[in-house]
């Protein structure tokens, strides 16, 4: 089983959520959550982001890139991750996946989706 599948299941159980409850939070089905937890399906970046937010953690933690499950360090302590916050403007979105730059078409599709989501919250 992958680190991602194990961590999603572990955090879901720690938060005393059923697969159905997590599915409802992220807008999918219990079957999909079950397949992700059993490592049958790999979650998309968008789905992983929704799961991370619902479980109050980071995508980096779910992917095994860090062992710090907390979204932000507590008490002003540095968790060792020297990452800077980046403000993203609509037209300035730099994305990569596993160190590989995403294609321009893929970036534009993501930007369009984010704009649609932002407009839906207004």
**10 and 56 belong to one structural domain:** yes
How is residue 98 written in tokens? 């596993």
Give the C-alpha separation, 40 to 114, whole Å: 27
In a domain, 67, yes or no: no
In a domain, 69, yes or no: no
**56 and 88 belong to one structural domain:** no
Residue with tokens 């984010």: 114
In a domain, 71, yes or no: no
Domains of the chain: total: 2
Q: Which domain holds residue 90?
A: 84-122
pTM comes to 0.59
List the pLDDT tens digit at each of the 122 positions of the chain: 899 999 999 999 999 999 999 999 999 999 999 999 999 999 999 999 999 999 999 999 999 998 888 876 544 444 445 554 444 444 444 555 555 566 777 777 877 787 777 776 55
In a domain, 76, yes or no: no
What end-to-end distance do the CA atoms of the chain give, in Å?
40
**45 and 10 belong to one structural domain:** yes
**14 and 45 belong to one structural domain:** yes
Three-class SS state of 99: coil
């Amino acid at each position: 089983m992958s680190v991602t599948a194990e961590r999603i299941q572990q955090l879901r159980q720690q938060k005393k959520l059923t697969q159905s409850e997590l599915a409802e939070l992220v807008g999918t089905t219990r079957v999909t959550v079950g397949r992700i937890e059993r490592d049958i399906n790999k979650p998309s970046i968008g789905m992983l982001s929704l799961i991370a937010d619902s479980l109050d953690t980071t995508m980096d933690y779910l992917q095994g890139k860090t062992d710090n499950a907390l979204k932000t360090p507590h008490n002003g302590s540095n968790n060792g991750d020297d990452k800077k916050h980046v403000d993203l403007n609509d037209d300035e979105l730099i994305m990569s996946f596993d160190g590989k730059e995403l294609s321009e078409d893929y970036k534009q599709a993501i930007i369009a989706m984010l704009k649609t989501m932002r407009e839906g919250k207004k």
